Amino acid sequence: MVYVDSPHGGIDGGCTSAEGVPEKGINLDILLRLRDLLEINGYEVKVTRDTDRSIHDEGIVGIAEQKSSDMDNRLAIFNETDHALCLSIHQNQFTDAKYSGAQMFYSNSNKNSEALARALQSRFRELLQPNNNREIKLCGKELFLCYYSENPTVMAECGFLSNPEEAAMLSTEDYREKVAFTLYTGISDFVNRKK
């Protein structure tokens, strides 16, 4: 089972590019493309959302409370099955626009998360971003979903919306398809190595 998460949604747009393009739509589009690639190739897939919405509990009011409920529900989905693989798709942002490139974050709460992060980072370098020198990065409790997931889990920062060139690429369907394919090949590498 592969769980794929598209964070943000509904009132929570995530970070935005200089042109005002919110992260949430980019994340969701990559997720839908990745889901299709995985399913076509025989993987069982579950996504945390497939439309522009938050998955907070009904009756929760207030943005902070809704975001907290949404996060708890996404974690519950990641932890509902043993021996699953979990991926959360994000876009990065930084105050200095010069930074670019995908970077994978993982927690040591599952011993296989680091190997998954390495497989994904390697495929980004090989297939999409040959000049990407970013290293995978160990996270702490600040990355709630990664840290508390019991299965191998990676938060994939696919690019920087604060970098104008990368933001422009991420706003195209063609590039998002390439990102989805890159994630798919990294997942497949990890799964095949485990076999």
Taking only the tens place, the pLDDT of each residue in 7-60 is 888 888 888 998 888 999 999 999 999 999 999 999 999 999 999 999 999 999
Residue 39 CB neighbour total at 10 angstroms: 12
Predicted local confidence at residue 152, as pLDDT:
97
Q: How much is the pLDDT for 194?
A: 74
* Integer angstrom CA distances of residue 184 from 4, 53, 75: 11, 24, 21
How does pLDDT run across 68-98, given as a tens digit for each residue?
A: 999 999 999 999 999 999 999 999 999 999 9
- 156: β partners: 89, 104
| Sign of the dihedral defined by the CA atoms of residues 179, 180, 183, 189, in that order | negative
* Residue 129 pLDDT class (50, 70, 90 cuts): very high
Please report the pLDDT score of residue 13 as a whole number: 86
Residue partners of 90: CB distance under 8 A and separation at least 6: 7, 14, 23, 27, 155, 156, 157, 158
pLDDT given at position 10: 85
Distances in Å between the Cα of 24 and the Cα atoms of 6, 53, 91, 140, 174 are: 7, 9, 9, 23, 18
Cβ count near 123 (within 10 Å): 22
Residue 115 and residue 11: Cα distance in Å, rounded?
A: 34
- The share of the chain scoring above pLDDT 90, in percent, equals 89
